[in-house]
Amino acid sequence: MRANQAPNAEVSDRRSNGPVWQPLCEGTYKINTDATMFVRGGRVGVGIIIHDYVGTVMASSAQAVQFGFSILIAEALAIKKGLLLARDMWLFPCFIESDVQVVVNLINIPDIPCSEVGLIIKDIKILLEEFSNCNIVFAPRYSNKAAHELARIGLSADEGLFWLEECPPSLRHVVLGDCPKPL
């Protein structure tokens, strides 16, 4: 297992060349986050989905944010919003998966970058200090599909959308593809 790979999260299925859900350690939560931009509309969509250790959806969210910043800041903001949702629902210990290696690396280094993204990274590090056993790891795009689709929904949302113990019905096939546990 690579150092930045989530423990027991997903492994590649050689027959289908895609991720296969593997149960997490009991009592652990997995949070997938993503951001997507619509430049002409001046909006960022943020998607968050939280699974428990057997793959049951605990919460999901699609949110829109007006933007005037880089995609790195948007991705860091998605991670921050994922941590805030997990904190509000007290879903710890956890690990967060993001498909942007640069942001994951910036969070995992001891120093805080002196840049605009550094402000969000600082907020993330403060949130991480509140809870033990919470890590940020890289996940390839193919294993972050549900969060990406939620981010796309967020682009057109007038207000933040939240689902507890479920996801939008239009995403069930994506979530089931990521994790074959009944919703």
Can you tell me the distance from the alpha carbon of 173 to that of 154, in angstroms, rounded to the nearest whole number? 18
The fraction of the chain above a pLDDT of 90, given in percent, is 60
CA pair distance 47, 44, nearest whole angstrom: 10
d(CA 126, CA 101): 20
Report the C-alpha gap between 44 and 81 in whole angstroms: 13
Q: Read off the pTM.
A: 0.85
Least confident of 11-20, 79-88, 138-147: 11-20
Residue the block writes with tokens 């993330």: 124
Q: What is the pLDDT of residues 106-131, one digit of tens each?
A: 999 999 999 999 999 999 999 999 88
Domains of the chain in start order, with CATH, are: 10-178 (3.30.420.10)
Task: Label the pairing between strands 94-98 and 134-138.
Answer: parallel
| Residue 97: other Cβ atoms inside 10 A | 26
Residue 34 CB burial class (10 angstroms; 0-12, 13-18, ≥19): buried
